[in-house]
Structure 1
Amino acid sequence: MAIELKDVQQVAEELGGRFEEFKSKNDKRLEAIESEKAALAGTVDSLNEKLTDLDAYKKQLEDELAALKRPGAPGANKHQSEHKTAFSQFLRKGHEDGLRELEQKALQVGVDADGGYAVPEELDRTILDVERDESPMRQVCNQITVSTSDYKKLVNLGGAGSGWVGETDARPATNTPTLAQIAAFMGEIYANPQATQTSLDDMFFDAEAWLTQEVGREFAEKEGSAFLLGDGTNKPKGILAYTLATANDATRAFGQLQKIHSGTAGDFDSDDIIKLIYSLKAGYRRNGRFMMPQMTVFKARTLKDGNGNYMWQPGLQLGQPSTLAGHALVENEDVPAVAADANAMLFGDFSRGYTIVDRTGVRVLRDPYTNKPNVGFYTTKRVGGMVTDSNAIKVLTLSV
């Protein structure tokens, strides 16, 4: 069924209606006497869950509508088409004739001669698209693709002096800017999906699409966790694996993220939301967004500001996300749940704060022997991640 604009509008209208009902019930719950609270709490929780479902459904419809309007990729050149055809035969039958030469003609780089075959460029892009759709981190963080096994970047820590002078005064030398080199924490991620040879022999079975979906989903799940929590050993170093300190931007060491204490172990309120937002400099706040798991969104949805207005507001227009205190929300189940001392919420400009590094070339090794009668496709990709601006992301820690 084709997705139309009216479908999104209908869901948005229902979302708005449900939110008005949710506010009414929640207000009554807050004002109710003890005997009424239990019954109203159940109704509020049910409506809260329905708001989450409608919000997610609206986003899904918007994504599908955008996909329908997206222009097709430019036509592949002859070598790329030949490479794709040969790779399809490799997946289905294990035929390798001329595949290595076609890889080279298709300008695939970074391919290990003993490490399987590189997927065609079109499939490589599709795997990354699947990962972006599946992974909250890829949706909001900066992403780059490199052809080398690692990635380094110079950052300016400040220190370049300046001063005021008269028209004919001497211009003394200013201080030299302080530069630091940061490097992505890289690792190799793998997946090993299995298919029967009977399925592969079926001309109606789309082997490339199957492999793309299986690998993209597995990679997205593992990568998403590493981009947030990874320790940097043979995997990306995640945002929350960096040192967290209470010092502000002016005094905190480069590479450390600022944490804001909620003042209550295992809990937060509307004042903590505001404090988290304004701990971030104005230049970062313009593109600032929250990141938290779904159950934390449930709690945040019940909060009110000092004027009695709900801080969470549904996105009722096409392309408009739901917001918390005026900023977009990203649900990420890898963020720790509400608990004492948990780093339960992040806020910042993630595109400036964290960079995901993909090395060109996903490789596939076909294995028809290990798990007969299934054929395994051992698929690997090198990927990394690093904090690039430690002032761009703040963390709310639920502690005194």
Structure 2
Amino acid sequence: MDVQIETDQLTESFDIVARQDAADEKIATLRSDVDEVKARLDRVSKAASRPAILGPIASATSEASPEVKGFVDGYLRRGREAEIKSISGAVPQDGGYAVPREIDAMIASELKEISPIRSLAQVVQVGSAGYRKLITTGGTASGWVGETAGRPETDAPEFAEIAPPSGELYANPAASQAMLDDAAFDLESWLASEVAMEFARAEGSAFVGGNGTDQPLGFLSSPTSLAGDAVRPFGSLQYIGSGDAQGFDANPESRLIDLVHTMKAGHRQGASWVMNSATLSEVRKLKTSDGAFLWQPGLVEGQPDRLLGYPVVEAEDMPDIAADAFPIAFGNFKAGYIIAERSATQVLRDPFTNKPFVHFYATKRVGGQVLDSYAIKLLKIEV
């Protein structure tokens, strides 16, 4: 009997040891798996933190797509139209060849950084030049009734049509054939940068002061009025005077505060100041009656400077401080100004006009107009 008990106890001990060994083996396997995952994450993290050395497009994609390679090496560098036709579907009757979307996206990114109004406004992509939008200028009427009372018809809302004037924006940079033959020359980055700079200069000016003839209608070219939102015609911008015919009066804070509060509270969420650097240099010197500066620098890197709590955006196309000028705008441009553009940039390669240089004629159709005139307010230099 004692022998049987000892045998059972010994068998149970062996089972316990076996289970412990199996558990230890599973734990070791799990630790090995965890270590392998950590090693993979470390490799991915190190690769992501390395600086890009092959330019913006190479950093965005591990290797250029066949479309980009054919466009850059075949058409832009050597003018081989057959290669670009076969991969883009473009035809000569279109007046050029569509830029691959990697390069087109790069152009749009640089435009946003250079042209401040583009980064603030509402941008829509259109397929044709005839973009139109309906705006409700009066809400649907309502009324109170009893449980069993009749429901008379209410007034219908009123609408206004917005059709942003547009024009064809173009740039025509040139490069020598020797530059194009040099494989080290980053052609796609150069082309995107040159086109972006040319487009941004024209856009920045047109979105602010364009006359609407074969170009966008700038917000400063829209009708203006001293009347408030309740009585002002739709499409005209409200302004207030600065209190001085040559600049700011002795109490500039009150004028700027009045300008802020002429705007409806809903539009003030997301509003910003727009002025050029010369005007900003004067605004930064303005003080309240107790000696505090109105302008406040951004406290965190990348955070915009603020005036009366709202961000300040520099747009060099805004006018300087002068009599009858509108040097300062305050508005929610996402709601107040619309940019309508045809997204595909067209490029025509011209190696014949100015030999030995090869021109790249890039075009894009862009339009713009005030969308909601209640969302943008202006300060005019006048008594």
What is the TM-score of this pair, normalised by structure 2?
0.81
| 1:2-60 CA-partner distances (Å, limit 9, x unpaired) | xxxxxxxxxxxxxxxxxxxxxxxxxxxxxxxxxxxxxxxxxxxxxxxxxxxxxxxxxxx
Q: What are the equivalent positions in structure 2 for 1:12-23 lying under 5 Å apart? A: none
Query: Deviations for 1:328-367, whole angstroms, at most 9, x for unmatched residues?
Result: 0001111110011111100010111001112021111111
Contiguous gaps of at least 5 residues in structure 2: 1-50, 52-58
Offset, 1:369: 1.1
Quote the Cα distance in structure 2 between the aligned partners of 1:392 and 1:75: 43
- For 1:85, which of 54, 69, 88 is the aligned residue? 69
Report the residue type matching 2:132 in the other structure: K
Match of 1:94 among 79, 103, 106: 79
1:262 correspondence with 2:242:
yes
Corresponding residue for 2:177? 197
Match in the other structure for 1:345: 328
**Deviation of 1:272 (Å):** 1.6
Aligned to 2:343: 360
Kindly indicate whether residue 298 of structure 2 is the aligned counterpart of residue 298 of structure 1: no
Q: Give the deviation of 1:305 after TM superposition.
A: 2.5
- 2:201 matches 1:216: no
Retained in 2: the 8 A contact 1:259–1:395?
A: yes
Distance across 2 between alignment mates of 1:166 and 1:362: 60
- 1:144: which partner in 2? 124
1:100 offset after TM fit, Å?
Answer: 2.5
The counterpart of 1:188, out of the listed 149, 168, 175, is 168
* Count of residue pairs the alignment pairs up: 322
* Residue pair 2:350, 2:359 contacting (<8 A) in 1 also: yes
Give the whole-Å Cα distance in 2 for the aligned partners of 1:138 and 1:114.
27
SS state at 2:358 partner:
strand
Matched with 2:269 is 286
Q: What's the counterpart of residue 171 of structure 1?
A: 151
1:105-130 per-position Cα deviation (integer Å, ceiling 9, x unaligned): xxx8xx87241111101111111111
* Segment drifting more, 198-207 vs 276-285: 276-285
Give the superposed CA RMSD: 1.9
Would you say the 8 A contact 2:236–2:373 is kept in 1?
A: yes
Q: Is the 8 A contact 1:228 1:241 kept in 2?
A: yes
1:226 corresponding residue in structure 2? 206
Distance of 1:75 and 1:283 partners within structure 2? 44
Say if 2:75 and 2:83, in contact at 8 Å, map to a contact too: no
Determine helix, strand or coil for the equivalent of 2:87: helix
Equivalent position SS for 1:157: strand
Gaps of 5+ in 1: 1-63, 65-71
Shift of 1:136: 1.0
The answer to whether the 8 A contact 1:292-1:330 is kept is: yes
Shift of 1:150: 2.6
Percent identity over the alignment is 47
Query: Pick from 361, 375, 378: which aligns with 1:395?
Result: 378
